[in-house]
Amino acid sequence: MSAPDNTGTTSDTDPCPYCGTTSGVQPVTTSPKVQAWSCAECGTQWAVSVVNPRPYMDHLTATVVARRLVTLADLAPILTDTELRARLVALAGLARS
């Protein structure tokens, strides 16, 4: 993400949540599930972690499948049997992944 720092320049690093600068922000080596940074300007350290990403992804997949199923139900009267079956097979494959 590009963000202007206090000097008006643009960087690929998010600004420090305390002082707002990007010039002194450095990534800190952590575990693969945690992203952490340190600000050389003010000494602030912060980290971000996704907690239980799998339930969120399951919910997201279910939402996408449900929306596609509703759309398919709306289209069913104008589809041939072959087209409808092909779309149902594709939708079933999405639900399994």
- Answer yes or no: do 12 and 25 share one domain: yes
- Answer yes or no: do 58 and 30 share one domain: no
- Answer yes or no: do 33 and 58 share one domain: no
What is the domain extent for residue 37? 3-49
**Digits of tens for pLDDT over the chain (97 positions)?**
444 444 444 446 788 888 988 888 999 876 777 888 999 999 999 888 877 667 767 777 888 888 888 899 999 999 999 999 999 998 888 777 6
- Answer yes or no: do 45 and 59 share one domain: no
pTM above 0.85, yes or no: no
Best CA proximity match to 50, nearest among 27, 32, 33, 30: 33
- Answer yes or no: do 7 and 27 share one domain: yes
pLDDT for the residue numbered 13 = 74
- Answer yes or no: do 83 and 58 share one domain: yes
Q: How far apart are CA 23 and CA 57, in angstroms?
A: 35
Q: How many domains does the chain have?
A: 2
